[in-house]
A and B are shown apart, each in its own frame.
Chain A
Amino acid sequence: MDLPERVHVRTTINGQAQEFLVPPYMSLLDTIREIAGLTGTKEGCLDGNCGACTVDIDGRIVDSCLVLGAEVDGQSITTVEGLATKDGLHPLQQAFLEEAALQCGICTPGFLVASKGLLDNEPNPTEGRIRHWLAGNLCRCTGYDKIVRAVQKVAASS
């Protein structure tokens, strides 16, 4: 078979410079998962309604299923794998563990990336602000209670 057309992309993922050839139709989600091999970013709906594939692109919180891999040339992406450092877990990761803010865990990477996006810009959000910000991320297990409390805990300690 003929090889389909590919687009050349240079990007940074979790601080590492990366270079790919991606099919023009391939979503950023699939680029991250299938080409970069980072499967922490999850597929839930592929139409931008669940937030399981949330990543950070240059400080913006984005559903990676709605972005093409070919679009991120020159941009910097952070996924859940980029939250912890060699010094340990991100405070949100630690708080999610301590507050039992996950059950099945499939939405957790998206919630962590989205929550970090909030706290990076607003260190002390109200409960209402947290709920509003996270409304683009669906969780079906927790009823959100313990997720909101985990974010509040990190906000309070900042």
Chain B
Amino acid sequence: MVQTFDPKSDYKVVGTRPIRHDGLDKVTGRAIYGGDVKLPGLIWAEVLRSPHAHARIKSIDTSEAEKAPGVFAVATNADFPEPRSGEIDTGEDVVNFERDTKNILAKDKVLYKGHAVAAVAAIDRNTALEATKLIKVEYEPLPPVRNVDEAMADNATILLEDLVGDHLGEDVPHTNIARQFRHEFGDLDRGFAEADLVIEKTFTLQMVHQGYIEPHNATAIWDESGHVTAWSSTQGMFAVRDQTAGMLRIPESQVTVHPVEIGGGFGGKTKVYLAPVAAILSKKSNGRPVKMIMDRNAVFEASGPAPGGKIIVKMGVTNDGKITACASDLMYEAGAFPGSAVGAGAICIYGCYNIPNSRIDGFDIVVNKPKSAAYRAPGSPQAAFAIEQVVDEICDQKGWDKIQFRLDNASQEGTRRGDGVMFGKIGLIETLEATRDSDHWKSPLEPSTNGKLRGRGIASGYWMNGGNKSTVDLMLQDDGTVVMNEGSADIGGTRASIAMQAAEVLGLPAEDVHPFIPSTDSIGFTATTGGSRTTYATGYAAWEAANKLIAEMSNRAAVLWGIDASGVEFDAGKFSSSADPELSISFKDLAARIGDTGGPLSSTASVNLAAAGAGYAVNICDLEIDPETGKTDVIRYTAVQDVGKAVHPSYVEGQIQGGAAQGLGWALNEEYFISDDGSMANHTFLDYRMPTSLDLPMIECILVEVANPLHPFGVRGVGEVPLAPPLPAAANAVKDAIGKRMLDLPIKPGRILEALAE
């Protein structure tokens, strides 16, 4: 039974903007990130990576490297124990350790340029790097499969000979299509027959990277007792624990992961690349701690970017502005191994619309590129780029108001999502209305006076948000403050947002709840920070733990006063007797009496939330294009989002602004530019062009608060949906500016110049 709430809107702590608890360490350089870990006897490891996008490994000779001065050990895939085969549900994630071990150290074949082949541990980083050059690898190069069209061609080169594809339930060998699935409702043919206008467009997208500034890193010790201790920049220390244990085939209890600060992740730091390798090297180096930091080229070439691919959307509407049918094909690049975000993309593509007759086909396709990983609302931005442009095109052709059309066809409570799930309480309509009533939408776009071409675009986006498992422990201190241990990696302010929820219940200021993230051995299981789940689910656990603490403290007040605990009330930081107004004690004073009323007090709460409140966002983008150079400048941007309840509005705005910036980069510049040989040509920050401060205006935020009934304070996850609308908002603005619809990402200057020349 799912508990529901009728949250109020005004709070003492929730909704305020205190200075975050971990802020001081981060502005002084004191905070310890993964790269900052130092241990006695520390040695370094570097990785030898494939120069080929696709090749068979004929032999690996590590003997020269092993003999090199300063080298402790060399590791290859042969050092992994025989992996468990097939897909394994770890309770947190479905993993395939056979493929994961092959991904972090290649076996038999290399499947993308940069694929790790061997690793060397040595006395320092430079010695390790030099020693990797002494390893001799003999390759038999194979033709690279560079995109979904090449992968699906009749005579395609096959990446994974042992892959049996699941094509609509049928086992298909010798294929690069790992999975084809379908969601279908209503009568598609009848729906299109009822339509007065049918628009079909095909979109292409390139892989993009999350672009976190901190490279992947790990430090590990595999000691003589068989215990692995690791430090790694990650969104989920339990995921590092479970994946490391799984790949090394040791019990999870034999792995301890210490959290370190994480320098950005956006979904990309949910997969493990280094910790098991560092552990193997440590064991081979007599238990020395081994530290690894990926260089930036490797982060681009060999971590987990977001899928590119191809999307076809066909939508039908009647003359009175109702969608009758929609059919979509989503072909996503999984990278070298199956498992793209196409499943989530399919869930999201119709998230903003009530469509009576629909079909979605999803294709998960392997190509010779790094294995894709999550990137902020994984799969949804690509889907939004496609469907929101089709909607925009329909409105353009019919001359309809773009917000009114969306309102007329909006998803609301009870609407069936494209995969069949019924929506609970959602705030799309409120978000669209807030956009319509915004200063930005009501201010007409001023014509340009400098010869540039101006346009305005609007687009919406959806992300379902996640729940899952979280644990929070609270420990009452004698001075009336509370220490809070929680298991969620803090990727951008969640210590504060979780502590604030505990503080709200406890009647304390945010500063009096001290949040800590202890090791995997010191807190109950908590799922990875991802799916926009942390402030929602770990915050829920904090609320529950705080209520338990208050109940225990009420018992102590009852002991103090010799009354029954049922007669103790707690309000506004004070415990009092409902029968005797003379009996009253503050939280702080009672905390000082805990010792003589029964001893120290702590509470714990673990939750496993099956559902979450969905997130919706609508963005308005004004931009201008230089017709001489094709360069696009965003000149005004407004992001409107239903956030449920903003626990710390500054950090909610931060999520929205950061998502808008990433989305504009994805829309206008960012791409894995793949050369003929299958390699990424632009694997530095110089050539992989992420937005700088000079490329962006201020991002205006409008927070809509439609309380989520599944959370005591009405919280919805806010971190991911901000990335869905910017791609189509920018594309629709470009169409408005130049009169041409841009179907291929990124909408870079060259493409704009080509479109203008047509």
Contact = CB atoms under 8 A, between A and B. Distances in A.
A125 interface: no
Given A42-B33, A146-B650, A141 B492 contact: yes
Contact of A44 (B215, B692, B698): B215
Contacts of B212: 104, 106, 140
B685 A139 contact: no
How many chain B residues sit at the interface, stated as a range, is 35 or more
Contacts of B261: 104-106
B23 interface: yes
Given A141-B658, A143-B658, A38 B29 contact: yes
B33 A141 contact: no
Interface string A70-102: 000000000111011000010001001111101
A137 B660 CA distance: 18
Interface string B10-34: 0000000101101110111111110
B213 A100 contact: no
Contacts of B305: none
A79 B27 CA distance: 11
B651 to A, nearest CB: 6
A97 B21 CA distance: 10
A140 B653 CA distance: 14
A143 B584 CA distance: 49
B70 interface: yes
Contacts of A106: 33, 212-214, 261, 263-264
A138 B35 contact: no
A105 B28 CA distance: 10
Interface in B666-718: 684-686, 690-696, 698-699
Contact of B19 (A50, A97, A149): A97
A41 interface: yes
Contacts of B165: none
Contacts of B650: 99-100, 146
B35 A39 contact: yes
A137 B692 CA distance: 7
Contact of A147 (B123, B215, B693): B693
Given A43-B293, A45-B296, A49-B686, A135 B692 contact: yes
Instruction: Tell me if B's interface is mostly helix, strand, loop or mixed.
Output: loop
Nearest to B261: A105
B65 to A, nearest CB: 14
Nearest to B29: A40
A82 to B, nearest CB: 9
Given A39-B35, A84-B28, A144-B693, A2 B651 contact: no
A148 B436 CA distance: 28
Contacts of A44: 213-215, 263, 296, 685
Contact of A140 (B213, B262, B655): B213
Nearest to A40: B29
A64 interface: no
A103 interface: yes
B295 interface: yes
B493 interface: yes
* Most chain A C-beta atoms within 10 Å of own C-beta, residue among B29, B31, B655: B29
Given A93-B28, A106-B213, 4 more contacts: A52-B213, A100-B648, A100-B653, A134-B692
Interface of A: 1-2, 23, 25-26, 30, 33, 37-47, 49-50, 52, 79-81, 83-84, 89, 93, 96-100, 102-109, 112, 130-132, 134-149
27 contacts: A39-B35, A45-B215, A49-B686, A79-B29, A81-B30, A84-B28, A97-B20, A100-B650, A103-B491, A104-B261, A105-B27, A105-B31, A106-B213, A106-B214, A106-B261, A132-B693, A136-B692, A137-B692, A140-B212, A141-B654, A141-B658, A142-B657, A143-B654, A144-B661, A144-B696, A145-B696, A145-B699
Closest 9 CB pairs of A and B: A40-B29, A106-B263, A1-B69, A103-B492, A105-B26, A143-B661, A143-B657, A49-B685, A100-B650
